Structure 1
Amino acid sequence: MSLADFFSPISISDFCSGTDFYSSQFGKSIAAYEESFPDLQSPELKPHLVLIGVEEERVSVNNMGTKKSPDAVRKYLYNLYQGDYQVRIADLGNIQAGATVRDTYVALKTVVEELIKLDMTPIIIGGGQDLTYAQYMAYEGLEQRVEVAVIDAKFDLDQENGEETALTSNTYLNHIILHQPDYLFNLSNLAYQTYLVSKESVNMYDKLFFSTMRIGMMAGRLDQAEPLIRAADMVSFDIGSIRASEAPGNANAFPNGLYGDEACQLARYAGMSDKCSSIGFYEYNPTFDPMGHTASLVAQMIWCFIDGYYNRKNDAPLVPKSAYIIYRTTLENDDYELVFVKSKKSDRWWMQVPYFGSKSINERYYWVPCRYEDYQQAVAGDMPDLWWKTHQKLQ
């Protein structure tokens, strides 16, 4: 079975606001599946980024209508102008809802896994956020530990029923956390709102040494979230994390949340991450977006991800050493030192967390993206929380 068998074609003319696209608009440069499936093998034509629409809404809780989102977003995305770089983007069309929701998950998992193996970055336009589970499943066959970043106003898990919880857009994290085999290294939940999250859920994240960041911690300091996004292999963006006044196209929208420009900046952080190999934009519902403002915002978020991708600094992994400045500091009453590195190219920081002999000689330490403030904290003699959490997971 080829990848083309999973997709239904689209019609580019449906997304053009005029008679034709201008030469620098995305609509002119995206290789879309209309009559023939894009060439994903040719070295000259092989795309860097791949758009995937998913028409699945059956377990998107209280938000029926999300299956219409891929084409609604394309209508705005195709009319945007690309930056000062030559894009190579393919649009494979839409994965239609399978006979069961599980069928859709299998299709999306298979497609994303194959694209990552071909060294292409999928950009998924859903559908409900339960599709994050299929996005995560794509990494199972890649034989690596996975870090997941979820941008959401709440934690989509059910602590009452645990393993018995049915998979929906409100409970998909249960299935990611409990999935066997376990290849989840870290889960970060960004932009959550405290009054939408139970204290039991926050405590569970702490016990598992997962990362969280409240919306209040990000207000006016969005760069605080950048290291957590830079550490992620995959990113899942719930449009419900954006305040209703900025993105009304969601039946579950809240009055508070991210501003539109903040959402775009977070998407750009994901694009700039050398590690991010897939991203999904979920829970947009055209039914509640008659003016198209939310579709336009999602299109601009995708533009920012693309812009970040083509501005990657390629400073991870951390070689050669000459491209970095190394800082060492010792905590009080500790026998070992903390090692930090700063990229001369991007001014981004990492810290070294040792395995302490629990791994092979080739895996003596783990590099964790961090902030300058983590280095300052270590210099002041305090153990950075991020170092401690990472160390516990490496035991």
Structure 2
Amino acid sequence: MEFDFLSPVSDNILDEVTHLNAQTIGAQLKLHTSEHGLPDLDKVNVAIFGVRENRRAVREDSTPDFESLRRQLYSLYPGNWRLNLADLGDIQEGDAVEDTYYAVSKLCADLIKQDIIPVILGGSQDLIYAQYRAYDHLDQMVNLVNIDSKFDLGDADKPISNQSFVGKIVVDKPYNLFNYSTIGYQTYFNSQEEIELMERLFFEAYRLGEVTSNIGHMEPIMRNANLVGLDIRSIDSASANSDYFSSPNGFNGREICALSRYAGISDKVSSFGVYEYQNEMNKLTDTLVAQIIWYFIEGVNYRTNENTISAKKDFIKYQVPIDDDILVFFKSPVSGRWWIEIPFLNSVNNKLKRHTLLPCSEEDYLEACNQVIPERWYKAKRKNEV
């Protein structure tokens, strides 16, 4: 694999790796070094890389440097994992921002085709647009989950920024987006126009209080995602603080790590990005971001590979009549997780066939038994009909 735009992990970090305990993540990673070049990715499951890009931030800051973050990540001990990990170094700023986007999408697409999950350490969050464009040639519609206090829809007619990238994803060709979900939005950070647009597009939005009251309800949302982005600014200032942002409300450390683990354990999530990393973040924030990545990898290790046709054959099927519909639920006898079937229309693009089973919770099934149609089923059905 040749990617000239990747720079190696710094020699400062490599020197420190030699002094780490042999059981730490840093001592076990396959590393991109100036001496040996890119590592052999054979049998690698997760590949980490940084993107030193910040030019499309509304408040542009210095180019992010991930050295202190790597220092915290490398010092952690892995769980009882059966995974091989690599750190490919950093993508530097291109001559134009579009050059950086191209490098990110090209690298992500190449890794995904090799069944390697890219974990992106990013500057400004508009890089999710590049992460999304990696799926252009993978012949599938995708579901994007954004852990964020804002929707980031913005004005699609204006230049892309870290507060308007979703609008560009919606309107730019090729159209790969099937569903967009925001986890942890805070109403006072979003205009009523954007909130109403989310409804009209049948996208999913979960308020911060709704999520934190029962974090487990987000597991089916993550189980249906193909790519996940996490805005560090969705974390409260007690857990992650810097001069760049500071909000009293947001996810705490335990909650954000739980969401990250749900993303990792999802059989469908094939790329994961952590964005809005800034140089002035303190050691506490670096430690938390390192643990967020740790929990994502922990989730990947415990995947059950139930997102397959052969696995579905063993599912227990339940049929629930509601009005003129019959809702069909499936339950895995292995994990105890639930899915609901979405009616598929023959006139719809064949890319959508992969979305006929929608992850749900047991609570959705019980509510259906009480003649309450799950809202997520309704929205997914409407998107199939549009």
Partners of 1:360 and 1:251 in 2: how far apart? 43
Contact 1:3/1:111 (8 A) holds in 2 = no
- Give the aligned residue type for 2:310: V
Partner of 1:182: 175
Contact 1:15/1:78 (8 A) holds in 2 = no
Q: How does 1:184-333 map to 2 (within 5 A)?
A: 184-249=177-242, 251-289=244-282, 292-321=283-312, 323-332=314-323
Paired residue total:
383
Q: Is 1:53 paired with 2:50?
A: yes
Partner of 1:80: 76
Contact 1:187/1:210 (8 A) holds in 2 = yes
Unaligned regions of 5+ residues in structure 2, if any? Answer: none
Contact 1:16/1:27 (8 A) holds in 2 = no
Query: Aligned pair in 2 of structure 1 residues 274, 365: CA closer, same or farther (>3 Å)?
Result: closer
Q: Is 1:155 paired with 2:146?
A: no
Deviation larger for 262-271 or 219-228: 219-228
Deviation larger for 379-388 or 363-372: 363-372
Contact 1:191/1:213 (8 A) holds in 2 = yes
Secondary structure of 2:237's counterpart equals coil
1:2-40 alpha-carbon deviations (Å, 9 max, x no partner): 533120111365267686121210011100101223444
Partners of 1:59 and 1:142 in 2: how far apart? 27
Instruction: State the 1:66 CA deviation.
Output: 5.4
Partners of 2:179 and 2:112 in 1: how far apart? 20
Query: Aligned pair in 2 of structure 1 residues 376, 287: CA closer, same or farther (>3 Å)?
Result: same
Partners of 1:78 and 1:327 in 2: how far apart? 46
Instruction: State the 1:286 CA deviation.
Output: 2.6
Partner of 2:383: 393
Partners of 2:285 and 2:257 in 1: how far apart? 12
Secondary structure of 1:113's counterpart equals helix
Partners of 2:243 and 2:277 in 1: how far apart? 6
Partners of 2:354 and 2:293 in 1: how far apart? 37
Give the one of 47, 59, 64 matched to 1:67. Answer: 64
Contact 2:54/2:123 (8 A) holds in 1 = yes
Query: Aligned pair in 2 of structure 1 residues 66, 304: CA closer, same or farther (>3 Å)?
Result: farther
Query: Aligned pair in 2 of structure 1 residues 364, 87: CA closer, same or farther (>3 Å)?
Result: closer
Identity of aligned residues (%): 38
1:134-181 alpha-carbon deviations (Å, 9 max, x no partner): 0001111112101100000111122xxx33211111111111111112
- Give the aligned residue type for 1:27: G
Query: Aligned pair in 2 of structure 1 residues 88, 259: CA closer, same or farther (>3 Å)?
Result: same
Deviation larger for 301-310 or 215-224: 215-224
Q: Is 1:384 paired with 2:383?
A: no
Partners of 2:312 and 2:269 in 1: how far apart? 22
1:272-314 alpha-carbon deviations (Å, 9 max, x no partner): 000000000000213142xx11011000000000000001111
Give the one of 323, 343, 347 matched to 1:354. Answer: 343
Q: How does 1:91-102 map to 2 (within 5 A)?
A: 91-102=87-98
Partners of 1:365 and 1:62 in 2: how far apart? 38
Query: Aligned pair in 2 of structure 1 residues 229, 360: CA closer, same or farther (>3 Å)?
Result: closer
- Give the aligned residue type for 1:371: S
- Give the aligned residue type for 1:392: R
- Give the aligned residue type for 1:315: E
Partner of 1:340: 329
Instruction: State the 1:373 CA deviation.
Output: 1.7
Q: CA RMSD in A?
A: 2.0
Contact 1:66/1:128 (8 A) holds in 2 = no
- For normalisation by structure 1, the TM-score amounts to 0.92
Query: Aligned pair in 2 of structure 1 residues 27, 210: CA closer, same or farther (>3 Å)?
Result: same
Instruction: State the 1:220 CA deviation.
Output: 3.1
Partners of 2:377 and 2:327 in 1: how far apart? 9
Partners of 1:12 and 1:366 in 2: how far apart? 49
Partners of 1:26 and 1:321 in 2: how far apart? 35
- Give the aligned residue type for 2:183: L
Contact 1:16/1:75 (8 A) holds in 2 = no
Contact 2:18/2:27 (8 A) holds in 1 = no
Instruction: State the 1:228 CA deviation.
Output: 1.1
Secondary structure of 1:286's counterpart equals coil
Query: Aligned pair in 2 of structure 1 residues 111, 88: CA closer, same or farther (>3 Å)?
Result: same
Partners of 2:279 and 2:59 in 1: how far apart? 14
